[in-house]
Amino acid sequence: MSNILIRNGRLVTATDDYVADIFIANETIQLIGKNLAVSAERVLDASGLLVFPGGIDPHVHLQYPQGPNRIVSSDDWLTGTIAAACGGTTTVIDFVEAKPGESFLRAFEARLAEAADAVIDFGFHLAFNRADDTALAEIPTMLDAGITSFKIYMAYDNIRLNDREMLVALQTLKTHGGLPIIHAEDHDVIVTLVVQHIAQGHTEPRWHPFTRPIAGEADATVRALTYAEIVDVPMHIVHVSTARGMQAIRKARARGVRATGEVCTQHLLLTDTLYDQPIAQAAKYVMAPPLRPEADTRAMWDGLREGILDFVVTDHCPFTMAQRLGKRRTPEFRKLPSGIVTNPPEPAWSDDVPAFNRMPGGAPGIETRVPLMFHFGVNAGKLSLNQFVNVTSTAAAKLYGLYQRKGTLAPGADADIVLFDPTREVTITAQALHQNCDYTPYEGMRVRGWVHTVLVRGNVIVEEGRFVGKPGIGKYLGRKTKDE
Ligand SMILES: [Zn+2]
């Protein structure tokens, strides 16, 4: 498709709100104006629709072999990016995680090859999972490869850095200009509490949140931001789930630390009462950080509105119920466009239902983020339309070096555009979603407002809610640091 005219939409960006036409050619927005006098090969009538810059979800885990059992998250790069597109997201940032002994560069090249079928654009963070001299020396190479953000896990054996290593990693990132992004939970607290609970026979998922206490997140967040202050480096905190974690960001900013934070959809909309259910239900909510009490979810909304939390992500890391309950390592694919189930049955990886600490952790959400934020944010009066666009797209583009190519509607920007029907009412069901997962944490929620049409660099890939694109349209987004 070489050129497209979008007529009469109500264009909403993080700052503007006006009715205009958009003319697209060569994958980018060429012109924006009222009643544009241009002829186009295709005209999309956006009367009555909202027109947003495509959503950006900068925290997802597609096709991710998690933990010592290497259970692979159930969306691959095709199903996961189709789901994202159908939910109004046109860019994701996923992770490169080197295996023991593997160089970061090699891991990057392998990940890039895995992503070949992506239907939306994508970038990577690097999991900074070692801080030996070889690893530190590879940071400039990763920056050259377009990876400018580096995830440091304070929790999880094998991939975490201890405090001394974190400090050295931050110094290295300061030297080269990379952005540290931090999973802030207290490792020793978690490990100790998990061992104690399991020893007492507390194996059901209902015990999971007790092993990852609010105070542990708060303490780790304070510590990470203190290190940022000592090293004088900017720092982003991923998946803030508690009021206390958020306050740590607010206080660090007041001291001059360049701190940012993100919140996941699930920590805005779901609470820890969901753990008080039988195993097969509660297992859906084994994720880190865990779901929190309602007071914390309310605080997350306040933080978002006040800008202490900069944007909304999903941490999309789906596992099917068979995977969660120990019946499979690899996912069963039910929803490939071909309709073919590709993975044969395999032996269960666990004889019994695994204890909560051995279940794969994470939740699906890549497809529902934008509509949920529209409904529970804009319709509920918690966010303005401009704020909604900012937290689902623009703010992430700015932090991660994608603005103004992504995250806005302006001449010269990539034509990543969502036409959104604010009146369409949808009841969310796993059955109707495109993500490859047999449940959604948002099952049964009724929302008003749904994605109508989606363009990725001028390619129409979703039409009236149906995926019509082709595998491989998505491109790798090499990013640059601000100094370059
Ligand atoms: Zn994550």
**For 133-159, what is each residue's pLDDT tens digit?**
999 999 999 999 999 999 999 999 889
The span from the CA of 307 to the CA of 305, in Å, is 6
Ligand 1 centroid, distance to 61 Cα (angstroms): 6
The span from the CA of 423 to the CA of 48, in Å, is 9
The span from the CA of 318 to the CA of 321, in Å, is 10
The span from the CA of 92 to the CA of 474, in Å, is 10
- Report pLDDT digits (tens) over 32-61: 999 999 999 999 999 999 999 999 999 999
Q: How far apart are the first and last CA of the chain?
A: 33
Look at residue 410 and tell me if it is in a domain: no
Q: In the structure encoding, which two tokens stand for residue 208, read together?
A: 């999971």
Ligand 1 centroid, distance to 430 Cα (angstroms): 21
Q: In the structure encoding, which two tokens stand for residue 400, read together?
A: 């991660």
Count Cα atoms within 13 angstroms, Cβ side, for 359. 32
Ligand 1 centroid, distance to 60 Cα (angstroms): 6
Ligand 1 centroid, distance to 57 Cα (angstroms): 11
Ligand 1 centroid, distance to 289 Cα (angstroms): 10
Per the CB < 8 A criterion, the answer to whether 259 and 253 are in contact is: yes
Look at residue 479 and tell me if it is in a domain: no
Look at residue 382 and tell me if it is in a domain: no
Look at residue 20 and tell me if it is in a domain: no
Ligand 1 centroid, distance to 341 Cα (angstroms): 27
Q: pLDDT class for 484, splitting at 50, 70, 90? A: very low
Within the chain, what is the greatest distance between any pair of CA atoms? 73
CATH number of the domain bearing residue 239: 3.20.20.140
Instruction: Say which residues have a Cβ less than 8 Å from residue 331's Cβ, sequence separation at least 6.
Output: 72, 73, 74, 75, 319, 320, 323, 343, 436
The span from the CA of 275 to the CA of 381, in Å, is 29
| Structural domain count, the chain | 1
Q: Which of 141, 296, 316 lies closest to 215 in space, CA to CA?
A: 296
Ligand 1 centroid, distance to 412 Cα (angstroms): 32
DSSP 440: -
Ligand 1 centroid, distance to 17 Cα (angstroms): 33
Ligand 1 centroid, distance to 101 Cα (angstroms): 22
Ligand 1 centroid, distance to 151 Cα (angstroms): 9
Ligand 1 centroid, distance to 163 Cα (angstroms): 20
Look at residue 383 and tell me if it is in a domain: no
- To the question of pTM greater than 0.95 for the whole model, the response is yes
Residue 340 has pLDDT above 90, yes or no: no
Instruction: Say which residues have a Cβ less than 8 Å from residue 249's Cβ, sequence separation at least 6.
Output: 221, 225, 237, 240, 259, 260, 261, 308, 309
Length of the chain: 484
What's the pLDDT at 342?
A: 62
Helices 214-231 & 243-254, crossing angle to 10 degrees?
20
**Rounded to the nearest 5 degrees, what angle is found at the Cα of 37, between the Cα atoms of 32 and 39?**
100
Strands of 199-320 (E only): list them.
Answer: 235-237, 259-264, 311-313
Q: Residue type at 107?
A: A
- Report pLDDT digits (tens) over 292-308: 999 999 999 999 999 99
What sign does the dihedral 422-426-428-432 (CA atoms) show? negative
Helices 214-231 & 163-176, crossing angle to 10 degrees?
40
The span from the CA of 320 to the CA of 105, in Å, is 31
Q: In the structure encoding, which two tokens stand for residue 274, read together?
A: 């969901």
Ligand 1 centroid, distance to 315 Cα (angstroms): 5
Per the CB < 8 A criterion, the answer to whether 130 and 162 are in contact is: no
Phi, psi dihedral angles at 85 (to 5 degrees): -60, -45
Ligand 1 centroid, distance to 285 Cα (angstroms): 14
Ligand 1 centroid, distance to 194 Cα (angstroms): 20
Ligand 1 centroid, distance to 469 Cα (angstroms): 27
Ligand 1 centroid, distance to 353 Cα (angstroms): 24
For the segment 63-81, the average pLDDT, to the nearest whole number, is 93
Ligand 1 centroid, distance to 59 Cα (angstroms): 6
**Rounded to the nearest 5 degrees, what angle is found at the Cα of 429, between the Cα atoms of 453 and 121?**
40
Q: pLDDT class for 332, splitting at 50, 70, 90? A: confident
Q: In the structure encoding, which two tokens stand for residue 363, read together?
A: 């939740």
β-strands 3-12, 50-53: how paired? parallel
Ligand 1 centroid, distance to 123 Cα (angstroms): 15
- Report pLDDT digits (tens) over 241-270: 999 999 999 999 999 999 999 999 999 999
Look at residue 335 and tell me if it is in a domain: yes
Ligand 1 centroid, distance to 179 Cα (angstroms): 16
What sign does the dihedral 86-272-264-76 (CA atoms) show? negative
Ligand 1 centroid, distance to 69 Cα (angstroms): 17
- Full residue range of the structural domain in which residue 185 is found: 55-375
Residue 217 has pLDDT above 70, yes or no: yes
- Report pLDDT digits (tens) over 180-214: 999 999 999 999 999 999 999 999 999 999 999 99
What's the pLDDT at 19?
A: 98
The span from the CA of 76 to the CA of 116, in Å, is 11
10 Å Cβ neighbour count for 47?
9
Instruction: Say which residues have a Cβ less than 8 Å from residue 381's Cβ, sequence separation at least 6.
Output: none
Q: Which of 254, 258, 215, 261 lies closest to 237 in space, CA to CA?
A: 261
Ligand 1 centroid, distance to 316 Cα (angstroms): 7
Ligand 1 centroid, distance to 37 Cα (angstroms): 46
Helix (H, G, I), strand (E, B) or coil at 236: strand
Ion ligand 1 residue ranges (Cβ < 5 Å): 315
Edge-to-edge strands, sheet with 55-57: 55-57, 89-96, 121-127, 149-153, 179-183, 235-237, 259-264, 311-313
